Structure 1
Amino acid sequence: MFTSEFEPVYCIEGGTLQLKCTVYSETINVHWFKGDIEIKETENMHIIWADKTHLITFKHAKVSDSGQYWIVAGKVQKQLEVTVQALFKRQLKNITIMEGLEACFECEVEKPYPGVWYKDGKELKSSSNIKIDTIQESVHKLTIFQTTLDHKGKYEIKINDILSGADLDIKEIPDAIKQMSEHDRSIFLEAAKNGTAARYNIRIILVGKQRVGKTCLLRRLMNEGIEGVESTDGINIEVKKCKINLQTKEWIFTKGNESPLSEYPNDQYADCGFWNFAGQKEFYATHQTFLSRNAIYLLVVDVSEDFEMNTFENMIENQYDRIGEYINFWLDNIHCYTVNDTDEFMIPESNLLNPPVIMIGTSMDKVKDREKTKDSFATYINKLLREHPKRKHLRKLCFLSNTKPSKDKNEFQTLRNDIFDRAKEIPKWGDNLPTRWILLEKEIDRFIHIEEFVISYDMAKILASKCSFSLKEVTLELDSFLKYEHDIGNLIFFEDIKSYIILEPKWLVDVFKCFVSPFQFQSQYINMPEWSSLQSTGHLSKILIKKLFSKVQVLNETEHEAFVVEEMNEKKKFALQIMKKKKAFVLQIMEKFDIIVKPIKIEKNEEYYMPCMMEASGFNQILDTFKVRNNKCSRTSWFGLQFNFLPPAFFNHILVTFIKEYSLCIVEGGRLALYRGIGVFDFEDSKCLKLVICLSENSVAMQVWQFKNGEGICYHENRKYLTHIVSFLQQKYRINIPFRCFLKCPDGTHHEIAERIYLNILNDVSKTALTYCHEHKNHTLDELRRYWFKVCIKSLGKGQIVTREQQSGFTDRTCDTCCLCKASKHWSFKLLVPHLTVEFKFLVSGF
């Protein structure tokens, strides 16, 4: 029947495949089979014959066309082995990579065909960031040099009508890393090249007035009893006390000798830490240190209290008379961490803002009509918040009783589920970190598990080496890792004082509580005049420091056995030297957080002051101390910043910055002119110019007291210094506190809002127009602003007499008096103190 030989047929995928046979007679019918199925003609496959030759042609061969074929002619059949070789020797592979790294797709083909690249179905071309090339004609490469989130998608290459595809998944750089320097970002990305993994963290912060049940609520959430609960002294941090299963939402707690939580896999469980903030006003100077935008806030309120009841709690200088004022205070604090009302701070399609707040009404067992109380409180909150953007943080109102819960305590399980659901809304939920960074986190957790909360930097380097940190650059990468962990609140580390690392913020909180605490927690010092001096003058004596340190176990000389592992076997003398270094380190940390400060009143000053612990003083009393209201002193107008909301700790940062820059005045008895919310500083060696900076409700104001002829002196550099400080601190602490600049008459009181003139309206008012001052006389706008803004020489009239001193404020360029809207810009500056004394009169000629 057949006159042809049947050799195995070989073809490359995508090429033309032909199967051929010849028979000895034209009348013989030939049928083609693959396996048991007869082959029929299709669009891609044609069957033809001519004379004695029979031919089957596959236009684009597929790998699936491989196999055993049978050619049947009459009762005779022959077998033909067909192999279609895949075009791609190496297919494209899926890539998961950290944002910012280089991504490279590569494939290899059997024959040198040209290829076309696609992303999500659209053809790609080479560009400055994308390179398409071919190596030795058979290897095709697509390189994206610096990936962004926009590069995420499906990538394909078509060669000879054959597609190979793969997915590119881009992991976003953690927000904290984005805020770091370019050097630290480079270190992070280099570490990410060796692999990344997701890590989930939930920080839960409990806030509210004292004695409303925050600590009891924390106990209930942790499945603990509430027996023996005492008022929280400062901040109680329970970090990584539980894990949450990401799939089932189950909360897992460990007790006693159970397996440590660090053994649970990071990709299946979330770490959950609780921060319980005390309600007493004395602690507010330290609270801001531990607040975070990436947290869930539980705002606790005792709904059994009368919503209108006076509480008479002196919080900073203003009275908080009602529950609503506490609610406003904490929501305002939280709202500061919304940098803007868009992007990652908005919950998609909900118009809500992060961080989320769950408001919890406690003491429901004390109310007579529960449903009526719920409705009344909800109505009250609605009226209280009205249309203020801060209400967008509020997610839910919960009502419960800590002391008399339901039989099955389902209300607390419901709250746990709500917390977990809110956590998934927070930006950067599930940060992706280099794998070796996560390993180092686990090493740190093991130290914390055995209550070793402070380790040396040398010990940290040993741990980093164990976790495969680069031996050549272990210090550089370790520093970047520690800065990241510091920024997200897992530990305390400062690059310029890195002799020790505080692994557990709870340890630092315990130190803070020894220093910053209301007298109810410090009554054991009632016999110490140094404590009274701290409250009245802010002076933190060495004797008092030593006494306060004795409350911290690892800083107590009688407790040297509590030191960390690397010190455990040292001799006592050496151990005490280490402890001395630790005490110095703790003081440096407190300086970093602006809790304590060394004034620059004298060189090599080693005395510490703690402004946040001082008692309030009347401003009139301070005026009398400096004899400001006599004829020998003239006062400039007030220049100030009015904030929508000013966190208590923020003014403390401002005041401490001034104390580091200026010399505080010394008053009778040798005490420094430092008061609660007020500082008075000498401007020059003669001490005839004094700068006072004051806090009032949501505002900061400054004035210069001139005990010499200060006519014509302009203090515009000092104005710029204040605004620069505020801008710098906003960036440093990553909070948003908008402000407006204002002026006020010299003899006015800085805290009165009524007579303030805001700079955004000054350009619309005549310079010589009078402004009514109900406290004193009328003033022109020129009189108010000339102390703080340079005078544009082009605005002076012909023949106007100008003193030599006034020339220091002149400029022939555009001035900020004429562009007052620039008052809130970021300035680079060098503080200059005007001290000209020689007068020289001249005439301003025409221009």
Structure 2
Amino acid sequence: MTEKRSVELYLTLLESGSEKKRDIRLVVVGKKGAGKTSLIKRLFGEDNTDVTSTNGIEIHKIKCKAKSNDGIWNKLDGNYEETETHARLLKEYEEKLQNKGTIDEPVESNIAIKDKTPETSFDESKKSGTVYKQPKIIKSLVTTESQVEPPVNTESQAEPPVTTESQVEPPVTSQQRNQSLEHATRDIETMLKFNVDLHDKEEYATLLLWDFAGDEEFYHTHQTFLSPDAIYIVVTKLNEADDKKAKDLFQLWMDSIHCYSRLEEDINKSDASKRTSYDLNPPVVIVGTWKDALVCDVEEIDDACRENILKYTDNISEDELGHIRQEYFISNTEDDPSVFQQIRENILNLARKMKTWNKAYPLKFIQLEKQLQEKKKVLPIISFQEIQKIAFDSPQPLNDEELRLFLEFHHEIRALVHFKDLPSYIILDTQWLSNAFRCIVTAKKFRDISIRNIKKWDVLYSRGKLYSEVLDDVFRKENNFSKHKGHILNVMEKFDIIIRPIISDRDGADQTLCYYVPCMIKSEPEYDIYEMFSVTENTCTKSTWLCYQFRFLPPHLMNHLIASLSRKYTVAEFITKEQKRQVALFRDSAVFELQKTTKLTKLHVMKCPNLIQIQVWQFGKEREGGLFKFIDEFVTEEIVNYKHKI
């Protein structure tokens, strides 16, 4: 086989080959102190010691066998990711090379890196010792520098056109062909430097484990990283089944997961054999912890655990119960490893039933993966134009449609983050984005504040007001965020983690107020909201309540609605008992000015169990009719938009 044919075989493989992807996204959520981090340590086979609270979100990459259930998860470091990516191409490449061989002239694989017969290195420039044998056919498989056609200077060339749906793909020029051959040659040479065991025929799965912090401040940032294509472990303390707050937080997580349900899609799937009539995706595994803290006889422990889990699920709707696949009752300190091995094996079995399991994945996508891994080492975020150029400059270029599919697939499993309505940037490092959120919305015990702005930081934690000085503090201390401050804030606004309200333009207003952070508004109204605004029968006409009733009220919908109204109307202000002006923005209610100049007409929005209700207040002698119609249309449209948003 000639050298050029070998490189062309590689290019052909990239163009037409595919692999079966086995990616598992595992998200661990639960109340602070429930034992999530301890559980993860036990699942990794680590000692349950030196457990510290998770600050934000911690992401781990894990390798586990997909063919034989050995119950082992191996936490991987950054170096493995690069080696594993090369291995995925090398295995396919070697197989193609072997298939090209004949009986008379077999093709020896230069990719058998781990030939275990040692020999002394004949390279005198290196230290003596044993090395793996150099593959005999390496020079015939890889085009050497002397054989590569001289590179063409492309500095003066215009950027190659990117194919769009309305364009016809331009014909491949000889210059582009030469560049592809050069790229392919460099790819093969790079891959050969990695020690890849291609004799290992086991099937492996890559597991991305997300450990979500249990502090309440973080809950509304987590929604950014939730998705339908995940397995969720909901961790809850068995000995807190009678605690209302613990039950409310359990409900919050079940509600949040249910927002991403795929009932209609699953019903229409042809592969219906993988699910029962009661299954609803994404799947949930409930892990009840602190079993050792229950006071009961040993022989009654399982019954007591089950009874307590049933208390948590008392108010969960029948639809939501369809997510639950399994329940485990454990002690992170006393149970032996076999308990956690069973959990690992069952999670892998659940993963096999996910729609993303063994999904055909074009091999040409791997070349882009490899280049983005290199970029990620120095840049956690890149522009869409840059990734477009990288995709086009690959040995087998990706057109716009292929790039879109690449980004969609990796966004679904949150290997990267790219929102269609914020298309300018692609976030390569999801941990970086989580860390950026953490700098603004963080539990008080983790905060790092400046003394000069301490009062404004305190206002953030008490009233949810985010001043520009506080933002400056945050981004001044974190240089790797400051360059992309705008995009980070845009993502946070998209998910209503922060909202930019329209405030009064009166003299003395908070000119430096940038945002409100709904999840950090701790206090409820100090007193009755009608009293705050002097709403009485003599001064004001109140409309009847217009109610939006939900069979299932998504937990973050109220934030979304308040944020949308804040962008359309001015948030109303009232005078506190301490004679201070304050905006009427609270955790589950808000008041807006429908008439900015006269301030005689206001809108009151309030959340109740399974209800969002609105009421119009009209002060003064003149009453304006027909207000409900356009407000109803606006609120209805925002509710519909939220459904598509998630």
TM-score greater than 0.5 by the shorter chain: yes
Distance 2:627 2:78 in 1: 67
Aligned to 1:245: 65
Point out the structure with the larger helix share: 2
Paired residue for 1:599, among 501, 509, 512? 501
The change in CA–CA distance for 1:530 and 1:683 in structure 2 (over 3 A counts) is: same
Q: Given residue 349 of structure 2, which amino acid in structure 1 is its aligned partner? A: D
Paired residue for 1:352, among 272, 279, 298? 279
Matched, 1:362 2:274: no
Paired residue for 2:217, among 278, 282, 287? 282
Distance 1:691 1:641 in 2: 15
User: For 1:622-771, what aligned pairs fall within 5 Å after superposition?
Assistant: 622-629=529-536, 631-668=538-575, 671-684=582-595, 685-708=597-620, 709-710=622-623, 712-733=625-646
Distance 2:460 2:488 in 1: 19
Q: Check whether the contact 1:616–1:677 (CA below 8 A) recurs between aligned residues.
A: no
Aligned to 1:511: 436
Distance 1:468 1:417 in 2: 39
Matched, 1:528 2:528: no
Q: CA deviation at 1:529?
A: 0.7
Q: Check whether the contact 2:275–2:353 (CA below 8 A) recurs between aligned residues.
A: no
Matched position secondary structure for 2:583? coil
Q: CA deviation at 1:509?
A: 0.8
Distance 2:462 2:312 in 1: 37
Aligned to 2:472: 546
Q: Check whether the contact 1:242–1:254 (CA below 8 A) recurs between aligned residues.
A: yes
For residues 136-183 of structure 1, the C-alpha deviation after alignment (integer angstroms, 9 at most, x for no partner) is xxxxxxxxxxxxxxxxxxxxxxxxxxxxxxxxxxxxxxxxxxxxxxxx
The change in CA–CA distance for 1:289 and 1:650 in structure 2 (over 3 A counts) is: farther
Distance 1:220 1:730 in 2: 37
Distance 1:367 1:617 in 2: 35
Q: Check whether the contact 1:538–1:675 (CA below 8 A) recurs between aligned residues.
A: no
Q: Check whether the contact 1:243–1:261 (CA below 8 A) recurs between aligned residues.
A: no
The change in CA–CA distance for 1:256 and 1:701 in structure 2 (over 3 A counts) is: closer
Matched position secondary structure for 2:340? helix
Aligned to 2:343: 415
Matched position secondary structure for 2:519? helix
Structure of larger gyration radius:
1
Aligned to 2:515: 608
User: For 1:32-43, what aligned pairs fall within 5 Å after superposition?
Assistant: none
Distance 2:618 2:440 in 1: 37
For residues 567-614 of structure 1, the C-alpha deviation after alignment (integer angstroms, 9 at most, x for no partner) is xxxxxxxxxxxx4x4222322222222222222347999822222211
Distance 1:617 1:276 in 2: 30
Aligned to 2:181: none
Distance 1:612 1:201 in 2: 32
Distance 2:364 2:542 in 1: 61
Matched, 1:215 2:37: yes
Paired residue for 1:343, among 264, 267, 289? 267
Paired residue for 1:334, among 257, 276, 286? 257
Q: Given residue 630 of structure 2, which amino acid in structure 1 is its aligned partner? A: E
Aligned to 2:24: 202
Q: Given residue 338 of structure 1, which amino acid in structure 2 is its aligned partner? A: S
Q: Check whether the contact 1:235–1:277 (CA below 8 A) recurs between aligned residues.
A: yes
Q: Check whether the contact 1:510–1:552 (CA below 8 A) recurs between aligned residues.
A: no
For residues 304-345 of structure 1, the C-alpha deviation after alignment (integer angstroms, 9 at most, x for no partner) is x2532x3xxxxxxxxx34x54444433333233224366168
Q: Check whether the contact 2:469–2:512 (CA below 8 A) recurs between aligned residues.
A: no
Distance 2:558 2:290 in 1: 35
Aligned to 1:769: none
Q: Check whether the contact 2:229–2:412 (CA below 8 A) recurs between aligned residues.
A: no
Q: Check whether the contact 2:64–2:206 (CA below 8 A) recurs between aligned residues.
A: yes
For residues 419-453 of structure 1, the C-alpha deviation after alignment (integer angstroms, 9 at most, x for no partner) is 000111223323333332343234333444x4742
Q: Given residue 307 of structure 1, which amino acid in structure 2 is its aligned partner? A: A
Q: CA deviation at 1:722?
A: 1.1
The change in CA–CA distance for 1:478 and 1:691 in structure 2 (over 3 A counts) is: same
Aligned to 1:582: 484
Of stretches 290-299 and 227-236 in structure 1, the one that deviates more from structure 2 is 227-236
Structure 2 gap ranges (5+): 1-13, 93-202, 506-510
Distance 1:630 1:602 in 2: 27
User: For 1:377-388, what aligned pairs fall within 5 Å after superposition?
Assistant: 377-382=305-310, 385=313, 388=318
Aligned to 2:150: none
Q: Check whether the contact 2:231–2:283 (CA below 8 A) recurs between aligned residues.
A: yes
Aligned to 2:116: none
Q: Given residue 419 of structure 1, which amino acid in structure 2 is its aligned partner? A: I
Distance 1:326 1:538 in 2: 21
The change in CA–CA distance for 1:698 and 1:512 in structure 2 (over 3 A counts) is: farther
Paired residue for 1:301, among 229, 233, 236? 236
User: For 1:762-841, what aligned pairs fall within 5 Å after superposition?
Assistant: none
The change in CA–CA distance for 1:331 and 1:514 in structure 2 (over 3 A counts) is: same
Q: Given residue 198 of structure 1, which amino acid in structure 2 is its aligned partner? A: K
Aligned to 2:129: none
Aligned to 1:262: 85
Aligned to 1:433: 361
Of stretches 626-635 and 253-262 in structure 1, the one that deviates more from structure 2 is 253-262
The change in CA–CA distance for 1:455 and 1:224 in structure 2 (over 3 A counts) is: farther
The change in CA–CA distance for 1:601 and 1:469 in structure 2 (over 3 A counts) is: farther
The change in CA–CA distance for 1:232 and 1:642 in structure 2 (over 3 A counts) is: farther
The change in CA–CA distance for 1:230 and 1:404 in structure 2 (over 3 A counts) is: same
Q: CA deviation at 1:523?
A: 7.0
Distance 2:591 2:439 in 1: 28
The structure, 1 or 2, with the larger RCO (C-alpha pairs under 8 Å, 6+ apart) is 2
Distance 1:626 1:373 in 2: 55
Distance 2:557 2:23 in 1: 27
Distance 2:427 2:298 in 1: 46
The change in CA–CA distance for 1:551 and 1:648 in structure 2 (over 3 A counts) is: farther
Aligned to 1:396: 326
The change in CA–CA distance for 1:503 and 1:642 in structure 2 (over 3 A counts) is: same
Q: Check whether the contact 1:299–1:357 (CA below 8 A) recurs between aligned residues.
A: yes
Q: CA deviation at 1:278?
A: 2.2
Point out the structure with the larger strand share: 1
The change in CA–CA distance for 1:420 and 1:532 in structure 2 (over 3 A counts) is: same
Q: Check whether the contact 2:496–2:559 (CA below 8 A) recurs between aligned residues.
A: yes
Identity of aligned residues (%): 33
When the two structures are aligned, how many residues end up with a matched partner?
Answer: 500
For residues 430-478 of structure 1, the C-alpha deviation after alignment (integer angstroms, 9 at most, x for no partner) is 3333332343234333444x4742234454234313434648x55x654
Distance 1:480 1:423 in 2: 22
Distance 2:41 2:544 in 1: 53
Q: Check whether the contact 1:664–1:681 (CA below 8 A) recurs between aligned residues.
A: yes
For residues 244-292 of structure 1, the C-alpha deviation after alignment (integer angstroms, 9 at most, x for no partner) is 2321245343358667443453994322111112223222211222222
Distance 2:332 2:257 in 1: 25
The change in CA–CA distance for 1:422 and 1:483 in structure 2 (over 3 A counts) is: closer
The change in CA–CA distance for 1:497 and 1:468 in structure 2 (over 3 A counts) is: farther
Matched position secondary structure for 1:607? strand
Aligned to 2:145: none
Q: Check whether the contact 1:212–1:301 (CA below 8 A) recurs between aligned residues.
A: yes
Q: CA deviation at 1:370?
A: 4.5
Q: Check whether the contact 1:286–1:649 (CA below 8 A) recurs between aligned residues.
A: no
Distance 1:514 1:199 in 2: 34
